[in-house]
C-alpha cells in the first residue's frame, strides 16, 4: 500500500505539482481569504493529478522503450488500471471542488480548459511544433480562473509573466530526454531546435518574465 501511494505521488510529477499548487494558493490570496485560497489550491491539486497521471499513462510505452525505470508505472509500483481509475476519481474531485468552492462555474470552466489543454499536450501536441501552446493556455488559465471567480480580470503583466515562465520551463524540461525523444519520433519545438537553441530561448523567456514583473 505504501509503495502504491508513493508510486501515485511520483506519477503525479510531484515536484512540479507542489510548485503549481503553491503558486495557485498565493495567487488566490490576492482575491480571496486564506481559507478560500486553500480550497482553490485543493481543486488545482486534483487537476494536477489528472495531468500528471495521464502523462505517465500515455507515455508508458515510450518510457518503457527508453528504459526510464524511475517512472513508477515502468517500475511496477502502480498499474495502468489503477492509474486509469485514479485519473477518473481525480477528475471528479477536481470538478466538484472547483464548482462548490470559490472558483464557481466560471472559474471551473477556465480551470478545466487548462486541464484539457495540458491533456492535449500529453496526447498529441508534445509531438508537434505547437508543443509550447498548451503551456501558454494551461498556465495562463490559472490567473484567469482565480480572477474571474472573484469578478475581476487579471492584469496583463501577470498573465504574460505566467506564459513566459511556463514556456521557459517547457524548453528546459525537455532537455533531459531530448535525445531519447528524437529517437522515438517526438519532435516538439524544443526537439526540433536542439539543446543550444532551447537553452537560449528558455533563458531569454526567463529574462523576459523577470523584466515583465519588474515593470508591472
Specify the pLDDT at position 57: 93
* pTM (2 d.p.): 0.91
Residues composing the chain: 216
13 three-class SS: coil
Nearest to 26 by CA among 16, 37, 35, 12: 37
Helix or strand holding residue 104 (H, E)? helix 104-123
For cell 480571496, the residue is 32
- Distance between CA 45 and CA 20 in Å, rounded? 8
Among 84, 107, 85, residue whose Cα is nearest residue 97:
107
pLDDT at 28: 96
| Cβ contact 54:64 at 8 Å | no
Per-residue pLDDT at 44:
97
Q: For residue 181, what pLDDT is reported?
A: 83
Q: In CATH, which of 3.40.50.720, 3.40.50.300, 1.20.1090.10, 1.10.357.140 is domain 2-214?
A: 1.10.357.140
Say which residues have a Cβ less than 8 Å from residue 89's Cβ, sequence separation at least 6: none
Q: Average pLDDT for consecutive 10-residue bins of the chain (216 residues)?
A: 85 92 95 96 97 92 84 90 95 96 95 94 91 93 94 91 94 88 88 94 95 88
Per-domain residue ranges of the chain: 2-214
Per-residue pLDDT tens digits for 94-104: 999 999 999 99
Residue 137: its pLDDT value, please? 94
Collapsed DSSP state (helix, strand, coil) of residue 160: helix
pLDDT (0 to 100) of residue 188: 92
In this prediction, residue 182 carries a pLDDT of 86
Grid coordinates representing 146? 482565480
Pick the closest to residue 177 from 188, 163, 166, 168 (CA basis): 188
Q: Is 31 within 8 Å of 18 (Cβ atoms)?
A: no
d(C-alpha 29, C-alpha 206), whole Å: 24
Q: What share of the chain is helix, strand, coil (3-state, %, to 5)?
A: 80, 0, 20
Amino acid at each position: 500500500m505504501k509503495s502504491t501511494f508513493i508510486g501515485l505521488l511520483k506519477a503525479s510529477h510531484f515536484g512540479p505539482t507542489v510548485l503549481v499548487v503553491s503558486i495557485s494558493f498565493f495567487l488566490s490570496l490576492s482575491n480571496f481569504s486564506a481559507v478560500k485560497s486553500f480550497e482553490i489550491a485543493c481543486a488545482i491539486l486534483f487537476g494536477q493529478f489528472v495531468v500528471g497521471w495521464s502523462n505517465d499513462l500515455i507515455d508508458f510505452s515510450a518510457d518503457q522503450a527508453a528504459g526510464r525505470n524511475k517512472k513508477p508505472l515502468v517500475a511496477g509500483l502502480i498499474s495502468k488500471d489503477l492509474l486509469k481509475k485514479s485519473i477518473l476519481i481525480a477528475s471528479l474531485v477536481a470538478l466538484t471542488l472547483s464548482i462548490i468552492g470559490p472558483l464557481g462555474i466560471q472559474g471551473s470552466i477556465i480551470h478545466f480548459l487548462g486541464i484539457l489543454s495540458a491533456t492535449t499536450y500529453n496526447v498529441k501536441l508534445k509531438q508537434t511544433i505547437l508543443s509550447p501552446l498548451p503551456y501558454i493556455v494551461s498556465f495562463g488559465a490559472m490567473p484567469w480562473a482565480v480572477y474571474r471567480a472573484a469578478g475581476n480580470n487579471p492584469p496583463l503583466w501577470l498573465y504574460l509573466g505566467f506564459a513566459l515562465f511556463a514556456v521557459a520551463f517547457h524548453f528546459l524540461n525537455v532537455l533531459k530526454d531530448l535525445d531519447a525523444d528524437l529517437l522515438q519520433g517526438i519532435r516538439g519545438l524544443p526537439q526540433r531546435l536542439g539543446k543550444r537553441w532551447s537553452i537560449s530561448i528558455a533563458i531569454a523567456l526567463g529574462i523576459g518574465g523577470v523584466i515583465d514583473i519588474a515593470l508591472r
